[in-house]
Amino acid sequence: MSKVVNAPSRLLNKRNWVIPASCVILFLLFLFFSDSLFLRKPPQTPLPSPPDLVDLTLLTDSQDKGALCLDGSAPGYHFSRGYGSGSDSWVLHIEGGGWCDSISSCSFRAGTALGSSKHMERRVLFKGILSPHPSENPDFYNWNRVKIRYCDGASFSGHPDTEPKGNTKLYFRGQLIWKSIMDELLSAGLSSARQSLLSGCSAGGLATLLHCDEFREALPKGADVKCLADAGFFLDEKDVSGNRSMRSFYHNVVQLQGVHKSLHRDCVAKKEPSDCFFPVEVIRNIRTPVFLVNPAYDFWQIQNVLVPLKADPTRSWWRCRLNIQACSPNQLEILNGFRGSLLKAMDEFQKSSDGGLFINSCFIHCQTWYGTTWHSPTSPRINNKTIAETIGDWYFNRRRPVREVDGEYPCNPTCINMDFT
């Protein structure tokens, strides 16, 4: 049985568990032995000082509001108040962690930190885009910083109408969780924000895109509000066996949790609702400025969208899907085709005047949450700019346009590439 980590589920049918076994390895080893996972070794980080650790706050009156995690417990978030020049500025980061597409997978998830606050850490380390250190987070270190915990399994978009009846009790309250947490943060000072950035990683990146305009509408009209999705641009692509497993999986998630009610009405009126859950459709209707950070060789998508285990019965892709350096020339050609599909899906977005891009050629997944990849001496760079510097340039209009796109692997020597072997 797989354990749960902060990476999207590769489980692309009703009988699968919620999180891929490879991501279990990533989570456990990254936390405790992270140096060994990188092909290019990152620097040692010092033990966290008190400002880095932030307590969990459970949502007030969650039962009365109907805003409940999958198991019925109260949702939560971690909040570090800003100071000085950042006292009226806010950066929010939505946690990732996949989705559940069946009663069994949601029931399993309800017994983990991705479905219940009973299992969440009471304190988390703020790093990357939420770091309190100017050397690690030059533009947002003294802003009000919030990490929103993810416990609904549908990118904060589920509705209770489709909750199962009978002995199995699950709560599909993603949209209510989103609204209730926003209401609580608005009352804590977000309602008077001068600047704000809504961000998220993986399934949290998709949630960021889905709720971006709602977030903008909740803030003062004069506020500078933008959104950042990290590794959240999931593709509707055929796998190496010719099947569209991701499309089938998203269809099940949308049907199970009534997600169609949270999707853009114009899209749902024209297309199958699950199609409107894919970012390529979501971004077509977003009016708020958006920045997309995505590795062209996103290991989660390679391992679960392009080469899911069931599409590789002979295990000919086994080494390649664990370590991009082990890919054959033919396999690299297929990976480059996947990269081409990503860039093609972003064609329309690249024409927007206020959108931004950072697409590097790294074999990695989320990059804004980890200090090593966000902004450090060994962070991935494009045109000698870290992700943090590039997003800062975009958010504060220091240059235009801000669209950084790498060439094909292995063009970027600054990449941090994950090695699961």
| 328-359 pLDDT tens trace | 999 999 999 999 999 999 999 999 889 999 99
Is 260 a catalytic site residue?
A: no
The residue with greater pLDDT, 294 or 353, is 294
pLDDT at 114: 98
Catalytic option among 365, 375, 376, 406: 365
pLDDT at 166: 84
Task: Please give the distance of CA 320 from its chain centroid, rounded to a whole number.
Answer: 24
Is 365 a catalytic site residue?
A: yes
25 has a pLDDT exceeding 80: no
Please give the share of the chain, as a percent, with pLDDT higher than 70. Answer: 88
Catalytic option among 80, 102, 196, 202: 202
pLDDT at 167: 85
Is 264 a catalytic site residue?
A: no
Catalytic option among 52, 275, 298, 406: 298
| 2-15 pLDDT tens trace | 333 344 443 344 43
- DSSP secondary structure string for all residues of 366-413: --SSSHHHHSSTT---BTTB-HHHHHHHHHTTSSS--EEE--STT--T
- What burial class does residue 226 get, using C-beta atoms within 10 Å of its C-beta: 0-12 exposed, 13-18 middle, 19+ buried? buried
Confidence of residue 45 (pLDDT cuts 50, 70, 90): low
Residues 6+ away with beta carbon under 8 Å from 2? 17, 18, 19, 20, 21, 24
pTM of the model: 0.88
| 111-163 pLDDT tens trace | 999 999 999 999 999 999 999 999 999 999 999 999 999 999 999 999 999 99
Q: Which of 126, 149, 3, 168 is nearest to 74 (CA)?
A: 149
The answer, yes or no, to whether the previous bond of 401 is cis (omega within 30 of 0) is yes
Radius of gyration of the CA atoms of the chain, in A: 20
CATH fold, domain 21-405, is Rossmann fold (3.40.50)
